[in-house]
């Protein structure tokens, strides 16, 4: 069967793209970092090896409709342009001048990919397609009674089915090509630099260097949990529950104050502030959530954070519960203290369980994902969970995980102030009359846990003024 050698196409390709496009294996994989030229290579391969044969039917698959429309479909139309006779947009179908056709489908329901026989198939971003996609697609590749070619273009996602097919079960039929983002000569250096600054550690190895990354010993989070949280979309909902913010306040030597806002399991907003005094901008951001159900704020109160928390308490309406949290302190209950070395371990463990149960969505920030993937845990001599110290982490090259901490605080299940408040309420109920309970200084929301005498004179007189005797 005559094929047009890609050298003769009026297209320039990077070296890896060229090798991939010319490769003749039945099944091939172009493993590339973000923007490494994967979609481009996939579309050119179709052109060079298949489309030029008459009366063939090809299938292009992408994980979701937006990915299909914005990447695979668009890239294909651009590159196939001169050979196209008709584009049937409503059916996502392309008819070529020689009578061949290509149809575009999403993999969100792999069963729907069953249908007529095909002569070739290209799966873009294959690693985030359901594993059944592969089996179903190669099952259809027998048009004209011969096994048809299939190729995958994707950024790796841990050691999932793509690894299984092309590494574990690699054989005479399979070939793999790998390209890092920085090796795509068609990207601007500024773009590459800005991408590189957003990724760290193993996550950078996966997303930019296109390496298959396995879960590291002692990693707090598993890859597939993080990927799940990244893929599930998240939106604010009118009756979606209370909105909670977590704030990691920049300490000495750290450059960002980070705020995460979530509603139930859904992450709605993340902002990182570089200002030397970020109180104003953070407050403005929080105020924008007040009318959308913001009820609770958990803010890091260690060091500088203490002033920050006081400022929030003074500036926000009294109905907002502002919890100062010092994660270096004791776990929240005696029971938790038996299992965790400190509050940080308790809260990170709770976060881990949430991710494991799939109860986090909308986590798209690459730096947060990088930081979460870098957190290690171990056990102390008493067998309690402890999170690797910042010093040890920085020895491994991981920077301070501010964004992960803010997220952890946003998802913190129960907090010190809150528990003191509950305890205070409990004690108060034993000794106070119902009338006294109504006194504002006895209300847990006012000053949880702190005795009357410990309040400032200003606050005392303010409360006395508000009391209805």
d(CA 224, CA 32): 19
Q: Which does 184 bind (CB under 5 to 8 A by kind): Mg ion, ligand ATP, none?
A: ligand ATP
Query: 423-427 — which CB contacts under 8 Å span 24+ positions?
Result: 423/449, 424/448, 424/449
**Which residue blocks in 239-365 are alpha helix, DSSP H?**
279-290, 305-315, 334-339, 343-356
Shortest distance, position 183 Cβ to Mg ion, whole Å: 15
| Cβ within 8 Å of residue 440, ≥6 positions away | 446, 463, 466, 467
Residue 394 Cβ, how far from ligand ATP at the closest point, in Å? Answer: 30
Is residue 56 within 8 Å of 149, Cβ to Cβ?
no
Which lies closer to ligand ATP via its Cβ, residue 43 or residue 261? 43
- Should residue 39 be labelled a site residue for Mg ion when binding is judged by CB under 5 A? yes
CA distance 412 to 418: 11
Q: Which does 186 bind (CB under 5 to 8 A by kind): Mg ion, ligand ATP, none?
A: ligand ATP
Instruction: Name the residue nearer to ligand ATP (CB basis): 66 or 115.
Output: 66
Closer to ligand ATP by Cβ: residue 17 or 278? 17
Q: Which does 187 bind (CB under 5 to 8 A by kind): ligand ATP, Mg ion, none?
A: ligand ATP
Structure tokens at 454: 């410990």
Residue pair 347/388 in contact (Cβ under 8 Å)? The answer is no
Binds 307: which of ligand ATP, Mg ion, none (CB < 5-8 Å by kind):
none
CB contact set of 430 (below 8 Å; sequence gap of 6+) = none
Give the residues lining the site for ligand ATP (CB under 6 A). 12-14, 17, 32, 34-40, 71, 75, 184, 186-187
User: Nearest distance from residue 306's CB to ligand ATP, in Å?
Assistant: 43
342 CB-near residues (< 8 Å, 6+ apart): 327, 328, 329, 330, 331, 386
How does strand 321-325 pair with strand 294-300? parallel
129 binds Mg ion (CB under 5 A): no
Nearer to ligand ATP, 168 or 189 (CB): 189
Contact partners, residue 324, CB within 8 Å, separation at least 6: 299, 300, 301, 305, 306, 309, 416, 417
User: Among ligand ATP, Mg ion, none, what binds residue 72 when CB lies within 5 to 8 Å by partner kind?
Assistant: none
Tell me, what DSSP letter sits at residue 342? S
CB of 10 or CB of 451, closer to ligand ATP: 10
Give the contact letters, 50-89, x = binds to Mg ion (CB under 5 A), - = no. Answer: ---------------------x------------------
**Nearer CB in complex with ligand ATP: 180/409:** 180
Shortest reach from residue 104's CB to ligand ATP, in Å: 15
């Amino acid at each position: 069967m005559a094929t047009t050698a890609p050298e003769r196409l009026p297209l320039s390709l990077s070296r890896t793209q060229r090798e991939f496009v010319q490769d003749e294996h039945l099944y091939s994989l172009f493993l590339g970092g973000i923007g490494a030229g994967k979609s481009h290579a996939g579309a050119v391969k179709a052109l060079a090896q298949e489309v030029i044969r008459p009366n063939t039917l090809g299938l292009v698959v992408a994980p979701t409709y937006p990915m299909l429309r914005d990447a695979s479909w668009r890239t294909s139309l651009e590159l196939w342009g001169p050979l196209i006779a008709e584009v049937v947009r409503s059916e996502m179908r392309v008819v070529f001048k020689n009578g061949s056709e290509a149809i575009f489908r999403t993999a969100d329901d792999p069963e729907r990919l069953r249908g007529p026989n095909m002569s070739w198939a290209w799966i873009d971003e294959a690693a985030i397609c359901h594993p059944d996609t592969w089996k179903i697609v190669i099952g259809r590749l027998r048009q004209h009674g011969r096994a048809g070619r299939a190729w995958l273009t994707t950024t790796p996602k841990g050691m999932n089915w793509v690894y299984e097919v092309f590494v574990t079960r690699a054989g005479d039929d399979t070939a793999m090509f790998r390209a890092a983002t920085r090796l795509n000569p068609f990207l601007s250096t500024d773009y590459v630099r800005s991408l590189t600054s957003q990724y760290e550690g193993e996550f950078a190895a996966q997303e930019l260097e296109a390496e298959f990354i396995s879960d590291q010993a002692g990693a707090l989070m598993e890859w597939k949990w993080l990927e799940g949280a990244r893929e599930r979309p998240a939106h604010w909902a009118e009756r979606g529950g209370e909105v909670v913010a977590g704030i990691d306040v920049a300490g000495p030597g750290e450059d960002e104050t980070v705020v995460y806002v979530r509603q139930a399991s859904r992450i709605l907003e993340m902002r990182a502030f570089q200002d030397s005094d970020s109180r104003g901008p953070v407050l403005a951001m929080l105020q924008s959530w007040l009318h959308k159900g913001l009820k609770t704020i958990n803010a890091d109160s260690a060091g500088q954070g203490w002033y920050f928390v006081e400022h929030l308490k003074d500036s926000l309406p009294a109905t907002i519960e502002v919890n100062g949290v010092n994660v270096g302190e004791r776990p929240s209950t005696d029971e938790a203290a038996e299992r965790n070395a400190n509050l940080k371990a308790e809260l990170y463990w709770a976060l881990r369980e949430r991710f494991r149960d799939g109860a986090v969505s909308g986590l798209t920030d690459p730096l947060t994902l990088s930081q979460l993937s870098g957190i290690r845990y171990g056990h102390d001599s008493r067998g309690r969970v402890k999170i690797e110290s910042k010093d040890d982490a920085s020895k491994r090259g991981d920077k301070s995980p501010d964004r992960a901490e803010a997220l952890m605080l946003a998802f913190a299940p129960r907090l010190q102030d809150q528990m003191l408040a509950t305890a205070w309420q409990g004690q108060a109920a034993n000794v106070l009359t119902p009338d006294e309970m109504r006194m504002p200084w006895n209300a847990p929301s006012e000053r949880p846990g702190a005795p009357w005498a410990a309040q400032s004179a200003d606050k005392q007189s303010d409360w006395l003024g508000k009391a209805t005797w």
